[in-house]
């Protein structure tokens, strides 16, 4: 952090309305030098200030294309890392609150993945037989691991295509950290569930027998999203009983049972576009984060569409929501004053390997 940086303490107690005015003023002063990127799950009072919005894949393309000096990322940590990796070395990625992490990304780390690779090497040659595939919801060192071992990154929009690419390289896949996205994408490729066992990273050899590993097509890391695990098949059943004409759409981070019971499954961008293009008067049950569902419910009211949230519980990405108007105002006013706060900088060697896998992904998903 810059030595003369303005302290966050000065912003902590600012009223939201004051923050709005100060964010608008700071943006005006920064002009084209700063761009604000926001994921679809971002809270409304921050999202309203975004210049570029999207799902993880779209935001990766946008981050690689923008020529702004500062990329202020209103998402979670791994997204800001991707922006840093894909932008040029002079551009600066900023995460207004460093505590905005992804609990799923934290379920895999380099030591555990390296241990898995070593354990697998006891029964096969992983660099010959296994393509490591990391969901973009992972730290940069795991993307670098994939770069080093002939692997690739995927997002929820392109996971099936990425798996096809992976199987064209090697016969098996180690998929981390989200078991649900891996399982659903494998299922779409007609892989039987028994060929996609879960790799429990807390157990020796992932808790699997040699035979299970040899038979496996995809080894699914035992990770999940704490938000999407809240959606249950009985929520869908209740909706279908009440509204037999209604349609159900879910994110592939939901459990296999929820995805199977849904009419459509896809990324946040897919969810928005599918409902936007649907017939007027349709009713939808949506299994993804609450901020996004609330936003589209409002937006599509004018098209006479009724949009319901899947769970009776509040399921929010609470870590992403840590980026509040106070943190955004603080980060922007510091830029106006010539200070960079909360820069996300991936070490050069790691960034080089991670960039390789991200660019590989962008090329495969075109
Ligand atoms: P998208 O790929 O749909 O943006 O999803 C990212 C994510 O973290 C969902 O929880
Ligand atoms: Fe991570 Fe889940 Fe939040 Fe997505 S919704 S960023 S997977 S914690």
Percent of the chain with pLDDT over 90: 97
Does one domain contain both 117 and 44?
no
Does one domain contain both 71 and 46?
yes
Whether residue 366 is predicted with pLDDT greater than 90 in this model: the reply is no
Q: Are 346 and 91 in contact (CB under 8 A)?
A: no
Does one domain contain both 259 and 220?
no
Query: Averaged over 234-243, what is the pLDDT?
Result: 98
pTM of the model: 0.96
Binding-site residues for [4Fe-4S] cluster, in ranges, read 102, 225, 317
Q: Is there an atom of ligand 1 within 6 Å of 178 CB?
A: no
Can you give the pLDDT at residue 314? 85
Distance (angstroms) between ligand 1 centre and the Cα of 119 equals 30
Query: Averaged over 241-251, what is the pLDDT?
Result: 98
Does one domain contain both 244 and 192?
no
Domain boundary among 160, 194, 226: 226
Q: Is there an atom of ligand 2 within 6 Å of 79 CB?
A: no
Q: Is there an atom of ligand 1 within 6 Å of 333 CB?
A: no
Q: Is there an atom of ligand 2 within 6 Å of 292 CB?
A: no
Average pLDDT, the chain: 97
Q: Is there an atom of ligand 2 within 6 Å of 136 CB?
A: no
Q: Is the peptide bond before 51 cis (omega within 30 degrees of 0)?
A: no
Does one domain contain both 199 and 247?
no
Nearest alpha carbon, ligand 2 atom 6: 102
Can you give the pLDDT at residue 83? 97
Can you give the pLDDT at residue 1? 64
Query: Ligand nearest 75 Cα, by number?
Result: 2
Which tokens go with 190? 């007609």
Query: Torsions phi, psi of 85, nearest 5?
Result: -65, -40
Residues 31-55 pLDDT 10s: 999 999 999 999 999 999 999 999 9
Query: Averaged over 312-320, what is the pLDDT?
Result: 92
Q: Is there an atom of ligand 2 within 6 Å of 227 CB?
A: yes
Query: Averaged over 277-291, what is the pLDDT?
Result: 97
Nearest atom in ligand 1 to the alpha carbon of residue 102 is 8
CA 42 – CA 290 distance, rounded (Å): 10
Does one domain contain both 76 and 152?
no
Distance (angstroms) between ligand 1 centre and the Cα of 283 equals 23
Does one domain contain both 72 and 151?
no
Q: Which domain holds residue 26?
A: 9-101+319-347
Nearest alpha carbon, ligand 2 atom 7: 225
Inside any domain, residue 363: no
Query: Ligand nearest 291 Cα, by number?
Result: 2
Residues 98-155 pLDDT 10s: 999 999 999 999 999 999 999 999 999 999 999 999 999 999 999 999 999 999 999 9
Can you give the pLDDT at residue 315? 86
Query: Averaged over 66-84, what is the pLDDT?
Result: 97
When divided into structural domains, the chain yields a total of 3
Confidence band for 89, pLDDT divided at 50, 70 and 90: very high
Whether residue 2 is predicted with pLDDT greater than 90 in this model: the reply is no
CA 197 – CA 37 distance, rounded (Å): 37
Inside any domain, residue 153: yes
Can you give the pLDDT at residue 4? 83
Domain boundary among 226, 249, 272: 226
Query: Averaged over 257-272, what is the pLDDT?
Result: 98
Residue with tokens 């007609």: 190
Does one domain contain both 112 and 209?
yes
Distance (angstroms) between ligand 1 centre and the Cα of 172 equals 25
**What CATH number corresponds to the domain at position 280?**
3.40.50.10800
Distance (angstroms) between ligand 2 centre and the Cα of 314 equals 14
């Amino acid at each position: 952090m810059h030595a003369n940086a303005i302290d966050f303490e000065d912003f902590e107690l600012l009223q939201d309305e004051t923050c709005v005015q100060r964010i608008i003023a700071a943006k005006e002063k920064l002009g084209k030098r700063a761009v604000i990127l926001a994921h679809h799950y971002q809270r409304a009072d921050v999202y309203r200030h975004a210049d570029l919005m999207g799902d993880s894949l779209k935001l990766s393309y946008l981050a690689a294309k923008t020529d702004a000096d500062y990329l202020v990322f209103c998402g979670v940590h791994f997204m800001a890392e991707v922006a840093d990796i894909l932008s040029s070395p002079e551009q600066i990625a900023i995460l207004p609150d460093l505590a905005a992490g992804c609990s799923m990304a934290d379920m895999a780390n380099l030591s555990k993945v390296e241990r898995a690779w070593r354990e697998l090497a006891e029964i096969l040659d992983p660099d010959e037989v296994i393509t490591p595939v990391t969901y973009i919801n992972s730290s940069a060192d795991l993307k670098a691991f994939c770069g080093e071992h002939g692997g690739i990154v995927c997002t929820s929009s392109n996971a099936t295509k990425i798996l096809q690419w992976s199987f064209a390289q090697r016969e098996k896949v180690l998929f981390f950290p989200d078991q649900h996205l891996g399982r659903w994408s494998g299922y779409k490729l007609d892989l039987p569930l028994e060929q996609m066992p879960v790799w429990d990273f807390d157990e020796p050899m992932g808790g699997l027998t040699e035979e299970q590993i040899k038979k496996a097509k995809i080894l699914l890391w035992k990770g999940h999203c704490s938000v999407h695990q809240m959606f249950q098949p009985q929520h869908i059943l209740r909706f279908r009983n009440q509204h037999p004409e209604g349609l159900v759409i879910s994110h592939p981070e939901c459990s296999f049972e929820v995805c199977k019971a849904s009419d459509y499954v896809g990324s946040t961008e897919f969810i928005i576009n599918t409902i936007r293009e649907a017939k007027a008067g349709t009713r939808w049950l949506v299994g993804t984060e609450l901020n996004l569902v609330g936003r589209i419910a409002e937006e599509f009211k004018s098209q006479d569409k009724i949009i319901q949230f899947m769970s009776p519980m509040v399921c929010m990405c609470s870590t992403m929501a840590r980026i509040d108007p106070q943190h955004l105002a603080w980060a922007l006013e510091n830029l106006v004053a010539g200070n960079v706060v909360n820069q996300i900088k991936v070490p050069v060697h790691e960034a080089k390997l991670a960039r390789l896998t991200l660019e590989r992904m962008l090329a495969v998903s075109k």
